[in-house]
Amino acid sequence: MTIINPPHDFPLERTVPGPIPQASAPTVAAPPPLACDAHCHVFGPASQFPFSPARTYTPPDSGIHAFQALQKRIGLERAVFVQASCHGTDNSAMVDAIQRGNGRYAGVAMVDASITDEDLAHLHANQVRGTRFNFVAHLGGAPNLDEFWTVVHRVAELGWHIVLHLDAKDFSQYDHLLDEMPVPYIIDHMARIPAQDGVDQLPFQQLLERLRTDEKCWVKISCAERLTKGKVAPFDDVVPFAEAILTTAPDRTLWGTDWPHPNMQTMPDEGHLLDLLTQFAPDQTLRDQVLVDNPQALYDFH
């Protein structure tokens, strides 16, 4: 695809930190064969894949080679790269990463209504199977809803799904939008619920109700490091939320690292996040479903 902005030939001032240099290997249980990180990103390198001039943060380069080294250390084989707002609608870095996976990687793009049919076809041919919309305030807030629906209906023709990045406090105001979704949709990061408010908080109960009543609704049990009180390990207060989601919709739940953890100030250890999954889902069969079967159902890995 065409790169929107010329590559940067000068150092960029980074506004957020990068991931830890080397994750631990998981210590509780090794991931099964074909296990998938269903929510991760690639950033740059900016000299080849420039960041959007409209970005709200500038991360360090965290490209495909660093990601592949991470996967080898923690024992994962597949991945879904989710386009992040710092690259805007230029999905070139993500497509390049997918192409290096030889069928092991898929993608979720960010597009707007100006995208051509040819560019959509190019993304689809490169194993992109969804598009993402940010609704969170610190990333620019809700999109224009007329444009949102234009994109949703266009990508529905390709059989794609929609990924929605929402804040918990805003969840209820989008009930009608979710009711009208013509395709499967994924709620990122457990709707960003604050764990300190407990599982009885209204936004989380609304999320569980939607999982019970709408078979198009999926959820990612990711980003414990964002949801936990204090934003530091061990993230135990997030476990009841993931357990409730898995009890409600085990066949519509995904897990991911969120590497390289954009906008986090204290970086988690990805091996510890895998160990945390064994608390979310102590049963090996359920973990296999979350790590292998569910991603395969949405992304049709080769």
Residues catalogued as catalytic? 258
Report CA-CA distances (Å) from 272 to 17, 150, 276: 19, 40, 6
CA distance 298 to 202: 29
CA distance 44 to 262: 13
Report CA-CA distances (Å) from 173 to 109, 170, 177, 179, 201: 24, 6, 9, 12, 16
Answer whether 224's CB lies under 8 Å from 192's CB: no
Give the burial string for 168-195 (b: 16+ CB within 10 Å, else e).
bebbeeeeebbeebebbbbbbbbbbbbb
